[in-house]
């Protein structure tokens, strides 16, 4: 399914799941779809996206 979505974007054919998430319920064998909205307060989703300097972040050891 993910490869199919990538091909739709690369080839420009069909409607890719941009802004949507496809769900699958294995128990009932049903597909569903969730629509997503951009968070206006999100630095990554904003236009233009904010540049985050990850080198300035302090490393934290796991388990400390």
Q: In this predicted model, which residue has the larger pLDDT, 63 or 50?
A: 50
Radius of gyration of the CA atoms of the chain, in A: 18
Q: What is the pLDDT of residues 8-44, one digit of tens each?
A: 999 999 999 888 999 999 999 999 999 988 787 887 7
Q: Where are the domains of the chain?
A: 2-56
> How many angstroms separate the CA atoms of 22 and 34, rounded?
7
Q: Is the pTM of this model over 0.75?
A: no
Residue 57 has pLDDT above 70, yes or no: no
48 preceded by a cis bond (ω within 30 of 0) = yes
pLDDT at site 60: 58
pLDDT for the residue 3 = 94
């Amino acid at each position: 399914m993910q490869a199919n979505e990538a091909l739709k974007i690369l080839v420009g054919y069909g409607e890719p799941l941009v802004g949507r998430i496809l769900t699958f319920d294995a128990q009932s064998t049903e597909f569903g779809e969730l629509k997503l909205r951009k968070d206006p307060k999100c630095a990554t989703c904003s236009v233009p996206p904010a540049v985050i300097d990850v080198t300035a972040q302090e490393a934290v050891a796991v388990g400390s």
